[in-house]
Amino acid sequence: MKNKAALGMLAVFLLFMLPMMPKARAAEGMWPLSNLPVAALQRRFHFTPTARWIRHVQLASVRLAGGCSGSFVSPHGLVLSNHHCAVGCLEGLSRPGENLMAHYFYAATRRQEPRCPSMEIEQLVSMRNVTAAVDGATRGKSGAAYAAAMRAISNRLETTCVAGHARKWRCEVVRLYHGGQDWLYKYRRYQDVRLVFVPSQATSFFGGYPDNFNYPRYDFDISILRVYTHGKPAHTPQYFRLSSRGPRAGELVFTSGNPGSTERGDTVAELRALRYPVFPLLLQLLAHQQGLLEAFSAANAHNAAIAAGTLFFIDNDIKSIDGQLAALHNARQFARKVRAQALLRAKVAANPRWRREYGGAWKAIAMAERRNAAMLLPDTMILDARYFSARLFNIAFDLVLGAHERTLPDAKRMSAFRAANLPLLEQQILSRAPVHPSLDKLELVSTLTMTRDLLGTDAPICAALFAHHSPREVALHAVEGTRLASVAFRRTLWQGGERAVATSTDPMIVLARKVLPFYLRLYRQHEDEVIAPIEANTAKIARLRFAVYGTRFAPDATFTERVSYGVVKGWLRDGKPVPPFTTVAGLYAHARGYNPLKLSPRWLAARHRINPDTPMNLVSSNDIVGGNSGSPVINRAGRLVGLVFDGNPPSLGGAFWYDDANNRAVSVDSAVILAALQHVYHANALVKELRSGK
C-alpha cells in the first residue's frame, strides 16, 4: 500500500514521461468541408475527395432548423430525415382527437402532401472565412465590451450577407475552433415544407426507450418531406441517390450533417462544472418533468397523445445526459483530459510571450464557471424555464421579449430576435399547431411552483409573481384567462409590438411582462459574467492550440455542416463482438405482443413479402453526436447507403472525446428503406422517384 506522498511523486514523474502531443484517434473528427482530412483518407483508404464530390455533398445535405440533419434524395425537393426529426410537424398536423404518430402516412400524389405548420429546412450554399474581420473587431476587448463587439461584427456581416432577403437567406457567423476561425455561412431557407411519408412511431421507434441509444436495433426511423418554393416542388439538382443494397461490412462511409455541440476543446474546469452542478440539476429537472408527463399520459389516450412528443424528447435527453455524466466519471478518460491540459499549460509556462498572452485563460474560465454555478438556480428557472414550461407561456414570453428586443438596433438584440431570425420566430409564434390548455396548466403550475421552491419565497421574482396568490393560482389564472390560443390574437400582439404588449390585459401576457425585467437582468449578467469571459478565453486557448497543433484536429461541433468518415463495423461489448448489421428477420424475432415491441399492422401483414435477409440497421465508426440525426450515410461514389438515427451507448461520451474502439453511429440501411417503401407501404410513386429521380 503506497501512501499519498509516494503517489504524488509518481504523478509528477509520469507527467514528463507522456508523449508531448495528444494523438487524434482513428476516425475522430467532425470535419468542416473547408478542412477535410484529405491526407488521412488517402493514406488509409486510397480515397481523395474531389472538389466536385465535396460540392455535391454540401449541396445535397440539408439542416432542419429544429435541430436535425437531412438530405435531398430527388431533384424535386424530396428530403430524407428521421421520423423523430418530424415530430413537430406531425404534432402540428394532428387534428384534435387525432394522433399522426400512431399511424403511418403516405401522400401518394403531390396534392396530398400537407404543409408542416412550423418547419424550416436550410441548404448551405456558401462559406467564407471571416476570421480577420472578427479578430479586428474584438481584439483586446473583454467582458461586456467583447460581447458587444462580437454581436456588432456578427450582425454587420450577417446583415450584409442576407442583403434584405431574410426569408430566402440565412447568414450566420460560425465560430470554429472556439473562435480560432470564424466563418460566414450562407443558407438557402425553405419554409414551405410538406409531409410525404412517415411510418408510425411504433415502427420508427421500435424497441422504444429501453432500446434507445442501444444496439442491436430494428428501427425504421425515417421521414420523407418535400420543400416547395412558390407553391411548387423546389428544384434540387444536387441530391443523393439511394443505394438499393446498402453498404458492406468494412466499407468506408461518410456522414454529412450538423452535429449539435461537443465539448472536446473545453477546459477541465468546464467539464468539472458539467459533472457538478450542471448535469445533476438538469437530470433532476428532466426526471421531474418525465414523471409529471407520465402521470398526465396515464389518465387517458388523449393526454398520452398530446404529451407523447415532449415525453419522447425528455426521455431521450435523460438517457443522453445520463450517458454523458457516466462518461465524465470515466476516471481514465478524464485523466487523459487533465494530462492534455497540463501539457498545454506547461508549454505556455515555458514560453514568456505565451505566458503573457494565454497564461490567464484557464483561471478566467474557471472563475466564469464559478459564477455560472452561483447563478445556476435562477438561470435554470428564469432563463431556461421555457424548456420546462407551457407552450402558451412560451408564446406570451416570445411576444413580450420580442416586442422589447425589436425596439433595439439589430446588433444589440438577442440572437433569436435579429432580423435574420425573425421569420423562423414568427413562424413559431403564429403556428397553427393546436394548444393543449390541460397540459399547459400542469406544466406552468409545475414550473412556477419549482421556481418558488428553488429560489425561495422571498426571492424578488417570487415576491413579484406571487404577491397575493400561490404559484398554482397564478398559473391557472393565466392559462384559463388567456386568448393566446387564437393565432389571430397572437398576430395582433406581434404586429402591435411594444405598445400592444404593454397595454394588453391578457393574463398570460401580464405574467410574461412580470417575468421580463428579471429575465433581462439575468440574461445580461449571464452574458457578461459567464458567456463573454468563457468565449474570449476559449478563443485564446484555441489560438494557442492553432499555434501548437495547427488544424490537424477537427473543431468542436457547432450545429453546422460536418463530414465524418468511418467504417461499417461492430465493437466489443463486455468482450463479446456486436455484429454491424441487423436484418428484417431480426426485427420480426425481436417483436412481442406489446409496446414498444409491437409490430404495426403493415409490417405484420408484409412479413412474407419482404426478404428477411434485407439489412435493417447498421453501425459504423463515424464520429457523430446529437444534431446528426437524419444525416445521410454516403459511400465514396456519393450514393446514400444509410440514414443516421442514433449512437451506441459509448457514443454518448462523444461530447467529450471519441473512442474508435467503441463509439458507433447507428443508421437505417438504405436497402430496407427502398424495400419497405415498396413491400410494406406500397409507396410506388415514391419508390420510383427515389430510384429514378422522377
The 10 Å CB-count burial string (b at 16+, else e) for 528-552 is bbbbbbbbbbbbbbbbbbeeeeebe
In one letter, which amino acid is 280? P
What is the pattern of x (binds a copy of itself, CB under 8 A) and - over residues 4-33? Answer: xx--xx-xx--xx-----------------
Q: What is the dihedral of CA 271, 273, 275, 279, to 10 degrees?
A: -110
479 binds a copy of itself (CB under 8 A): no
DSSP string, 316-382: HHHHHHHHHHHHHT-HHHHHHHHHHHHHHHHHHHT-HHHHHHHTTHHHHHHHHHHHHHHTHHHIIII
248 binds a copy of itself (CB under 8 A): no
Name the one range near a copy of itself by CB under 8 A: 125-133, 444-452, 562-570, 600-608. Answer: 444-452
CB of 300 to a copy of itself, least distance (A): 11
Distance from C-alpha of 60 to C-alpha of 246, rounded to nearest angstrom:
18
Cis peptide before 277 (omega within 30 of 0): yes
For residue 30, what are the contacts with CB-CB under 8 A and spacing of at least 6?
259, 262, 554, 557, 562, 563, 564, 623, 624, 625
CB of 451 to a copy of itself, least distance (A): 10
Cβ atoms of residues 58 and 673 within 8 Å: no
CB of 476 to a copy of itself, least distance (A): 10
Distance from C-alpha of 245 to C-alpha of 669, rounded to nearest angstrom:
8
DSSP string, 260-290: ----TT--HHHHHHIIIIIHHHHHHHHHHHH
Binding to a copy of itself (CB under 8 A): which residues in 88-127? none
CB of 65 to a copy of itself, least distance (A): 30
423 binds a copy of itself (CB under 8 A): no
Among 134, 184, 348, 655, binds a copy of itself (CB under 8 A): 348
CB of 210 to a copy of itself, least distance (A): 5
Per-residue DSSP letter, 115: B
What is the pattern of x (binds a copy of itself, CB under 8 A) and - over residues 196-215? Answer: -----------x-xxx--x-
Q: Which of 171, 343 has the CB closer to a copy of itself?
A: 343
What is the pattern of x (binds a copy of itself, CB under 8 A) and - over residues 530-559? Answer: ------------------------------
How many CA atoms does the CB half-sphere of 189 hold within 13 Å?
21
Number of residues that bind a copy of itself (CB under 8 A): 70
616 binds a copy of itself (CB under 8 A): no
State the CB neighbour count (10 A cutoff) for residue 76: 20
Q: Which of 191, 324 has the CB closer to a copy of itself?
A: 324
160 binds a copy of itself (CB under 8 A): no
Q: Which of 361, 422 has the CB closer to a copy of itself?
A: 361
Among 98, 473, 480, 613, binds a copy of itself (CB under 8 A): 473
Distance from C-alpha of 387 to C-alpha of 391, rounded to nearest angstrom:
10
Bridge partners for 193 per DSSP: 227
Distance from C-alpha of 283 to C-alpha of 263, rounded to nearest angstrom:
18
For residue 547, what are the contacts with CB-CB under 8 A and spacing of at least 6?
354
460 binds a copy of itself (CB under 8 A): no
Bridge partners for 155 per DSSP: none
Among 24, 430, 597, 685, binds a copy of itself (CB under 8 A): 597
Cβ burial, residue 231 (10 Å; 0-12/13-18/19+):
exposed
Among 466, 519, 559, 657, binds a copy of itself (CB under 8 A): 466
Distance from C-alpha of 369 to C-alpha of 140, rounded to nearest angstrom:
22
CB of 620 to a copy of itself, least distance (A): 23
Q: Which of 442, 683 has the CB closer to a copy of itself?
A: 442
Q: Which of 265, 360 has the CB closer to a copy of itself?
A: 360
Among 446, 560, 617, 667, binds a copy of itself (CB under 8 A): 446
Among 43, 55, 232, 469, binds a copy of itself (CB under 8 A): 469
Name the one range near a copy of itself by CB under 8 A: 92-100, 341-349, 565-573, 629-637. Answer: 341-349
Binding to a copy of itself (CB under 8 A): which residues in 262-301? 275-277, 279-280, 283-285, 287-296, 298-299
In one letter, which amino acid is 522? L
CB of 103 to a copy of itself, least distance (A): 20
Distance from C-alpha of 681 to C-alpha of 690, rounded to nearest angstrom:
14
Binding to a copy of itself (CB under 8 A): which residues in 353-392? 355, 359-360, 362-363
For residue 186, what are the contacts with CB-CB under 8 A and spacing of at least 6?
124, 125, 126, 127, 128, 161, 169, 170, 171
- Name the site residues for a copy of itself (rule: CB under 8 A): 1-5, 8-9, 11-12, 15-16, 207, 209-211, 214, 275-277, 279-280, 283-285, 287-296, 298-299, 318, 322, 325-326, 329, 342, 345-346, 348-350, 355, 359-360, 362-363, 441-442, 445-446, 452-453, 456-457, 466, 468-470, 473, 592-595, 597
